[in-house]
Structure 1
Amino acid sequence: MNSAPANLIETAAALRRGSLTVPDLLHRCRQNIARLNDKLNAVITLTQDAESTALRLEEELRGGRDYGPLHGIPLLVKDNIDVEGLPTTVASPIFAAAPAAARDAAVIEGLRRAGAIILGKTNMDEFAAHVSGRTSCWGPTVNPWHMSRHCSPGGSSSGSAAAVAAGMCCAALGTDTGGSIRLPAGWCGLFGLRPSWGLLPMRGIYPRAASMDVPGLLTVSAADMQLLLRAMLQGDPPAAPLPERPRLGVMRALVRQEAAKAQAAIADRYEASIERWAALGCEVTDVDFPLLVEDGIGGIVDSLRSHEFHRDVRGDVEGSPARNRMHAIPAADYAAGRDMPPEVHAAAETGRRELGEATQAFFTREKLCALLLPTAFLTAPRLDAPNATYREARLLMNLFSMTGNPVLVYPGGLVDGMPCGMQLVGQPGSDACLLELAERYERRYRPFAAPEC
């Protein structure tokens, strides 16, 4: 079993009681990295000053200087987010010899001010351009659940998710463009937050598709997300009062129909989750939203991503002698953006606008606090599964990648021994409501379970 403490609140309490020290906590995380990283390939770079930082933070805590609940907490960071003193490689041969970043990304600055320790950088799909965890120039990342199965942890925040599940850190940062936090959270049995688009600053984060990119979180607890988000924002997210009986939309018929094509037991876990929300006092209502799985939405997302990817990275790609060593998937995405006729991109932008308006109208019409869905209709496949399998896994994510809605993933139980995630989708700006909902659920049901690894 991994030996990292279960959540940040328990860890913070242990540090303040003195039953745990900051150096001991760091040592536990590093022990798990040393024990498991050869098998998981989740962590690619470690900071050199973590030990000295841990000693300083321990002395300050004992001396009465307390930065708050993240004081002394070791975190890992996806390798498309700048950390001062470490290279940002985006898992690409183009940046394999990149110099150290001269400055922290904006989200890292907030975490450091809150007393967090940046332990290192995590593996990812090259250029954040896939959802498998297998396209990194540093090699694939393996899901810590039943490691011998050699399953995908989800991507592109593959290393961050695997590291948190395996106890290599207390929480990790990732990014999400088309599912890159949502799918890893679901497949590794974690909580994951894709915040509302624009809530968190993107300075110091390498772009995938700027109009959809968001930094986000992977944790073992909903309450942990609240603490981390507050530090990254340097304040509380905008909030509206949660109704006494929050109204949750569910789509039983669609989920049963689509799950039957992949893993029917996902629908059973979904029904069980619905029953739990009802028992918590939520008003659960069946809704009709066929737009969610409409043919063509994935194509719109892909067109927008390819266009923005080529636009934003061509200066790095065109001038690189390693260009021909890019993985075939980001290389094809780059070429698609380069060769895209202007009218195709214009049509995709029109489609995005219309889909956003329709989604907003749906939430308003149904008066929903959140829409409850599975994260995907299948649990983690083998890493070498066909690309079509990974495209299908994004089915319930494509729409909300474009519309700016916040999405919170939570553990929904196991199917054939592998985690099955559920997701709460809110209206843009309702991040605080989603977090409060998830914390209520967590207090009652304690859904997180660590893998045997």
Structure 2
Amino acid sequence: MTPFAPLTPLATLAAQLDSGACTSRALLETCLERIDADAAAGGAAFIAVDPEGARASADAQDALRRTGVALSPLAGLPISIKDLFDIRGQVTRAGSVALADARPATQDAAAVARLRQAGAVLVGRTNMSEFAFSGLGVNPHYGTPLSPWHPDEARLAGGSSSGAGVSVARGMAAAALGTDTGGSIRIPAAFCGLTGFKPTARRVPGDGAFPLSPTLDSFGPLAPRVACCALLDALLAGAPGTADDLVPPERTAAGLRLAVLRNVVQDDLDPDVAAGFAAALTRLSAQGATLIDIDVPAFGGIATMSRFALPGIEAFAAHRHRLAGRSAVYDPRVLSRILKGESASAADYLDLLAARAALIDAARVAFAGFDAVLMPSVAVVPPRLAAVERDDAAFTRVNALVLRNPTLVNLLDGCALTIPCGGKEGETSAAPVGLGVFALANRDRHLLAMGRGIERAVRR
């Protein structure tokens, strides 16, 4: 068996498969061994694994490769799937016991089908915040995945795609499929030292994914590098072509005009985050990027623009029929957030949509002439599980702070990357810090091309 190191770029793994240096089955067995070892040590990255189904898929990809037929650049690579997505023949629990007795899905979710069509080997279903309704990743039903940073301190992996982040960081998958409604890809990516990409909300179809907020839900990858995210994003979006076509050419940092957002997103930063963000800006400037500090006054009113939030209203709509008989088995913290949407009127909902449209208009004006906008992906380093597990007030306070920065992008209907910038590559002692890079809707390929150059500049 040829093991692969965690965070090996997908292109490197694909090249090893093409050259015969390893097989898809060998990559998968390495993942399965790591999953078993993690579970034996009390880890909670996966809710369910299908070893035999994954082995059959890996063997099929190896057989195809031996015929010499041209394969997708994702063919044979082990990918984990967040428990929010339907996989035919499996139960989609969405991180909850309320759905544990649901019937198995009869077909794959659209995103899963596209990965399967590209030859991905589906390793298993990753753990998550129940119904994707938390930025911390705490799950009282299936256990709470933990960040690889300072494992002795039991720090959170971030949510809601918590298991997805851990699966990639610990080499239990080469990359992961997650969802992002208010940061659920970017938070765990930042907390686990990964790259994460939130596409424009309509870019990847949501058919077969359990909804949190259909207005804001986005579906995308957590992976080792920007190029890996670009490849997965293209396949998830249904783009045809080879790896050279699917991954946009790198646009170097030199000559980029980048807005550095100051108000709101730089309040109350953890010192490690502030230092990592400042170091990333220094490296970008040294590489020839033009950085301009900006404030957007309209963003200062986001916290008070309504007593409701879109996820709360839309989540209540999705859960209202189920709550009558199953509310007692919900995570109480998730239930309370869902129930906040119960009293919202149609007028409240329409007012909220109008307020969001006004924010998007303000952002278009403020960001005109810039290639992208920079901010810390998350304001803090991974919090300790003990600090929030039993203290509801602390949980609410920390959850709000963790969600604050990434949620802004969802409200603005944007696309965004988080890129590790908190220390030398492979240095596990450095605090995981993510550099947030975002653009407004439908500039995904443009952002990914720039992201490759920004990544080169800020990675040590």
Q: TM-score with structure 1 length normalisation?
A: 0.91
Say whether the 8 Å CA contact 2:82–2:161 is kept in structure 1: yes
Matches within 5 A, 1:282-431: 282-292=289-299, 294-297=300-303, 300=306, 302-318=308-324, 320=325, 322-364=326-368, 367-384=369-386, 385=388, 386-387=394-395, 388-414=397-423, 417-431=430-444
Match in the other structure for 2:243: none
- Per the TM alignment, residue 207 of structure 1 is displaced from its structure 2 partner at its CA by 0.5
Give the number of equivalent residue pairs. Answer: 439
Q: CA RMSD for the aligned pairs?
A: 2.5
400 and 445 in structure 1: CA distance in 2 versus 1, 3 angstrom threshold: closer
2:367 partner SS: helix
* Counterparts of 1:83 and 1:97, CA distance in 2: 15
* Counterparts of 1:252 and 1:285, CA distance in 2: 10
Match in the other structure for 2:256: 246
Say whether the 8 Å CA contact 1:375–1:397 is kept in structure 2: yes
1:95 partner SS: coil
- Per the TM alignment, residue 350 of structure 1 is displaced from its structure 2 partner at its CA by 2.2
Using CA pairs under 8 Å that are at least 6 residues apart, name the structure with larger relative contact order, 1 or 2.
1
Identity within the alignment, %: 29
Residue 277 in structure 1 maps to residue 298 in structure 2: no
What residue identity is the alignment partner of 1:404? D
What residue identity is the alignment partner of 1:246? L
136 and 362 in structure 1: CA distance in 2 versus 1, 3 angstrom threshold: farther
CA deviation vs aligned residue, 1:214-261 (integer Å, no higher than 9, x gap):
1111001111111111211221789899697221111468766x2xx3
CA deviation vs aligned residue, 1:68-119 (integer Å, no higher than 9, x gap):
2101001001101111122100111210122221111111111111111111
Say whether the 8 Å CA contact 1:40–1:143 is kept in structure 2: no
Matches within 5 A, 1:147-158: 147-158=151-162
- Per the TM alignment, residue 330 of structure 1 is displaced from its structure 2 partner at its CA by 1.9
Matches within 5 A, 1:65-76: 65-76=69-80
* Counterparts of 1:7 and 1:91, CA distance in 2: 28
Match in the other structure for 2:166: 162
Structure 1 stretch 68-77 or stretch 234-243: which is displaced more? 234-243
* Aligned with residue 267 of structure 1, among 268, 271, 274: 274
* Counterparts of 1:352 and 1:234, CA distance in 2: 29
Say whether the 8 Å CA contact 1:297–1:399 is kept in structure 2: no
Match in the other structure for 1:451: none
Match in the other structure for 1:439: 452
Any gaps of 5 or more consecutive residues in structure 2? 241-245, 389-393
* Counterparts of 2:409 and 2:250, CA distance in 1: 23
Say whether the 8 Å CA contact 1:92–1:136 is kept in structure 2: no
254 and 336 in structure 1: CA distance in 2 versus 1, 3 angstrom threshold: closer
What residue identity is the alignment partner of 1:249? A
238 and 27 in structure 1: CA distance in 2 versus 1, 3 angstrom threshold: closer
What residue identity is the alignment partner of 2:447? L
1:391 partner SS: helix
Match in the other structure for 1:11: 13
